[in-house]
Amino acid sequence: MQANMKFKDSLFTGIFGYSKERIADLYYAVSAKKVPPEKIEVVTLHDYAYKGRKNDIAFIADGKLVMFIESQSSWNPNMPVRDLRYCGEVYILLANKLGDIYGAKLIPLPPPEFYLFFSGSESEWGKAVCEARDMDKIDSDKKRFVNNDTINLRLSDAFSANSVGQMGYALELVVEAINIGIGHAADILDRYPLLKGFSIFNQVVQQEKIQEPYPDGYESMNTEGRAAARQQMLNNIMSRSVIRCGRQGLLAGTGLLEFLELHEWEVLGMLIADYDPDLAEERAAERAAIRAKIEAVVNIIKELQVSLSKAMMILKLDPEYRVQIISELRSQDIAFTE
């Protein structure tokens, strides 16, 4: 797994967002267009998080700026507004990179494509489909309803909330929302087995989450106790989900089970980001603090040429971080004595 993965990454971003090969395959799944991985330029805003989790991937492919967003919570019809803000920031960065945004020469920018992968409840999706159909009856030119697996979200629908039927707004943004839940978008899922595995695993986790009870006395616990309890609940959900997928062969041929087993700890962090944003914030802060201490030890060893034990003693760092520090030193090819 790539070293630059973040603790707030959703499972979707963690699996697909750090590999150009996987991004290319995901783009092929939704567009049926094959783009060589080496032709993809990733432009994801890594400091941008939505409700405590990173669930976005942005890249340039086939001369277009493509944005993928995954949603597994309640349906959000305001995604076009979020995408508008996101792509605006990306375009500013691209424009500054390609030329002078205040200059006299026009800066060429890639046209955008927006995709939303929905893996939430059937009831939420059903309501969204019905709403798209109803709005099309009033204004059929916008073609919000595509089929039972895909609908288009339009920014202009927010403008026309109080003026139904008005046309010709100066600004429009269309997000293609695709339901990747089981029983939907078979053509897309069949084109990319890993995405199909992601869909299946999401469903299993949701089912196991329902079966996981809160521990006795949860309501009377303090903040730290509740955080620890929720962490253990997610550990249980993760463990049962992976075991169930393995025993029942649910992910056979998708490649996802191998990913889950190889990166169990990272995946747990992603599930926390997906299902418990508050806990994700706490754990991210803890990991950032630990990371800072590890980097401080590494710097002392490099600059002062002292042993690992001496550096840890200088910073009063707990012995439990020793293995992580050694791993970091070796990854940077830094010579050291223990």
DSSP conformation class of 53: B
Residue 181 lies in a domain: yes
Q: Digits of tens for pLDDT over the chain (338 positions)?
A: 343 444 456 888 889 998 999 999 999 999 999 999 999 999 998 765 554 456 889 999 999 999 999 886 678 899 999 999 999 999 999 999 999 999 999 999 999 999 999 988 899 999 999 999 999 998 888 899 999 999 999 999 888 655 555 567 889 999 999 999 989 999 999 999 999 999 999 899 888 988 888 889 988 988 788 878 888 888 888 889 989 999 999 999 999 988 888 777 677 667 665 656 565 556 556 666 667 777 787 888 888 888 878 877 887 777 766 776 776 667 666 777 77
Assess whether 181 and 53 both reside in one domain.
yes
Assess whether 71 and 218 both reside in one domain.
no
The answer to whether 82 touches 33, Cβ cutoff 8 Å, is no
| Last residue of one domain, picked from the residues 152, 187, 222 | 187
Q: If we measure between CA atoms, which residue out of 111, 95, 12 comes closest to residue 55?
A: 12
Length of the chain: 338
Residue 6 lies in a domain: no
Strand partners, 150: 147, 178
Residue 337 lies in a domain: no
Residue 248 lies in a domain: yes
Stated pTM of the model: 0.76
Number of domains the chain is built from:
3
Assess whether 260 and 294 both reside in one domain.
no
**Which residues form the domain of 246?**
200-275
| Last residue of one domain, picked from the residues 145, 164, 187 | 187
The answer to whether 125 touches 179, Cβ cutoff 8 Å, is yes
The answer to whether 114 touches 83, Cβ cutoff 8 Å, is yes
| Last residue of one domain, picked from the residues 165, 187, 209 | 187
Those residues with Cβ within 8 angstroms of residue 221's Cβ, 6 or more apart along the chain or in another chain: 229
Residues 96, 173: Cα–Cα separation, whole Å: 23
The answer to whether 277 touches 53, Cβ cutoff 8 Å, is yes
Assess whether 155 and 219 both reside in one domain.
no
The answer to whether 312 touches 306, Cβ cutoff 8 Å, is no
